[in-house]
Structure 1
Amino acid sequence: MSRSIRLLNLLQLLREYHHPATAQKLAEHLNISVRSIYRDIECLRAQGVNIEGSAGLGFVLKEDFLLPPISLNDTEVEAVFLALNWLKRIPDTELKQAAHSVLAKLNAVIPKSKQELLDATTLHSIHQWIATDEKTVEQVRLSIRHEVKIEIQYLDERGKLSVRRLWPFALGYFNDKILLAAWCELREDFRNFRLDRIQKITLFEERYPQFKRHLFQQWWQQEIQKKANHS
């Protein structure tokens, strides 16, 4: 890892702590030595980063000079933080970590009046997800991002296990479950799959032959037509 990347990682980690963090704690999180933490903090201070604290007491970021001020009205602030707090509870490790990171960045730059608004808010996201393997969720999300085929062992609502080769192109977060929209090679048609019912998943390097946005458009038109036929 380059020194510049290490400094950025340390700066981001300090953003996420609202109270002083010891060098030992920072070192364990970043998987580097305590001595490196001390050197990197002094380097950040030399570049103008306002880090308070000392060895034995811990360090805290008092002002973040890298992030520009942003202008949000009260409702926008509530909307952003409510959405991010919802995301912090989703069964996807990387998205949860991303939500914590974005919240820390926003907390570093919003005006004091907006921070007081958030401290006093009684808006909360309360959600209960069906138990889902977070590694599976991450793998599905990455397969969509890279537009590659996957193979899953899937347990349907009747308890029947099948193996499907899929072209995954969209995820939907519905109430208590996550649904995958994909082209199924077995059925030669679009199918939806609940991620909590996936027993095993394998990612391939092979890209599927269409762009995910085109698959999504075709699937969406098919869904609209189904609703029209049932109305």
Structure 2
Amino acid sequence: MSRSIRLLNLLQLLREYRYPVTAQVLAERLQISQRSVYRDIETLRDQGVNIDAAAGLGFQLKEDFLLPPMTLNETEIEAIFLALNWLNDIPDQAFKSASKAVLAKLNAVLPEHCQHLLEQTTLRSITAWLPVNEMLVEQVRLAIRQQVKITVDYADEQQRISSRVLWPFALGYFNDRIVLAAWCELRDGFRHFRIDRIQQLSLSQELYPQFKQQLFQQWWTQEVCRATTDKN
């Protein structure tokens, strides 16, 4: 490992600790000697990094120091690529565009050997999604982001259509479908809606009366309790 990479790894490690960390712990995490840790700390200080030293406690990074993406290791790069590849495959045009943009930005700042890894990787995410209206998916995401009510015409398993006013708060991307979790005013409770069964959707300007995080927590607690009851 080159010394420059070692210095970057040391910086990244210091960022992980909110409180002082000893040279021994740093040495063990980086698999180098404590003497090397002391030398590298001094080198970073000479380069303007504000690292505080407290006797008996250790070292602490006093100011946030932005690390470039080149500190990613090979496994992290592959994980990001796989996630972006999955995003590029889902029926949501905005996410597809975003995944391509992130990949281009990543390529622009990664060192050459990492760019080569991205080009040569054969990791792929393969999912056969049920056909949906991609514009409708984006509208649902927008409604969740803005925490506004939506009105939908929804088809159940028997293809019966009902009109619902929903408070959308979460989207789940499952094996082949996208599922919306929402509070349904018609049923006065939490319900799940497959996006591919939504026939029409209209966004309102009306905020629903709870924060989406609160709705998500209430829904999650209900689902966990239900799963526990079913097991018993």
In our comparison, the structure showing a higher alpha carbon Rg is 2
| Aligned-partner Cα distance in 2 for 1:113–1:181 | 43
Q: Which residue of 1 aligns with 2:214?
A: 214
Q: Which residue of 1 aligns with 2:109?
A: 109
| Cα deviation, residue 175, structure 1 | 0.4
**Following superposition of structure 1 onto structure 2, how do residues 79-158 of structure 1 map, counting pairs within 5 Å?**
79-158=79-158
**Following superposition of structure 1 onto structure 2, how do residues 4-15 of structure 1 map, counting pairs within 5 Å?**
none
Structure 2: runs of 5+ lacking an equivalent: 1-66
Instruction: Give the counterpart letter for 1:139 in structure 2.
Output: Q
Q: Which residue of 1 aligns with 2:179?
A: 179
| Aligned-partner Cα distance in 2 for 1:80–1:207 | 35
1:194 to 2:229 alignment? no
Instruction: Give the counterpart letter for 1:179 in structure 2.
Output: V
**Following superposition of structure 1 onto structure 2, how do residues 23-34 of structure 1 map, counting pairs within 5 Å?**
none
Structure 1 vs Structure 2: percent identity of aligned residues?
60
| Cα deviation, residue 211, structure 1 | 0.2
**Following superposition of structure 1 onto structure 2, how do residues 47-58 of structure 1 map, counting pairs within 5 Å?**
none
| Cα deviation, residue 203, structure 1 | 0.4
Instruction: Give the counterpart letter for 1:164 in structure 2.
Output: R
Structure 1's 222 and 69: CA in aligned 2 closer, same or farther, altered over 3 A? closer
Structure 1: runs of 5+ lacking an equivalent: 1-66
Structure 1's 153 and 126: CA in aligned 2 closer, same or farther, altered over 3 A? same
Q: Which residue of 2 aligns with 1:203?
A: 203
Instruction: Give the counterpart letter for 1:161 in structure 2.
Output: I
Q: Which residue of 2 aligns with 1:11?
A: none
8 Å CA contact 2:69, 2:109 repeated in 1 = yes
Give per-residue Cα distances to partners, 1:111-164, cap 9 Å, x unaligned: 111111122212111111000100110000000000000000000111111000
| Aligned-partner Cα distance in 2 for 1:229–1:145 | 32
| Aligned-partner Cα distance in 1 for 2:119–2:97 | 21
Look up the SS of the partner of 2:71 in the other structure: coil
Q: Which residue of 2 aligns with 1:59?
A: none
Q: Which residue of 1 aligns with 2:4?
A: none
| Cα deviation, residue 176, structure 1 | 0.3
Look up the SS of the partner of 1:175 in the other structure: coil
Look up the SS of the partner of 1:158 in the other structure: coil
Q: Which residue of 1 aligns with 2:229?
A: 229
**Following superposition of structure 1 onto structure 2, how do residues 59-78 of structure 1 map, counting pairs within 5 Å?**
68-78=68-78
TM-score by length of 1: 0.70
TM-score by length of 2: 0.69
8 Å CA contact 2:89, 2:96 repeated in 1 = yes
| Aligned-partner Cα distance in 1 for 2:127–2:171 | 18
| Cα deviation, residue 76, structure 1 | 0.1
Look up the SS of the partner of 1:127 in the other structure: coil
Aligned residues: 165
Look up the SS of the partner of 1:70 in the other structure: helix
8 Å CA contact 2:169, 2:216 repeated in 1 = yes
CA RMSD of aligned residues (A): 1.2
Look up the SS of the partner of 2:222 in the other structure: helix
8 Å CA contact 2:69, 2:106 repeated in 1 = no
Instruction: Give the counterpart letter for 1:92 in structure 2.
Output: D
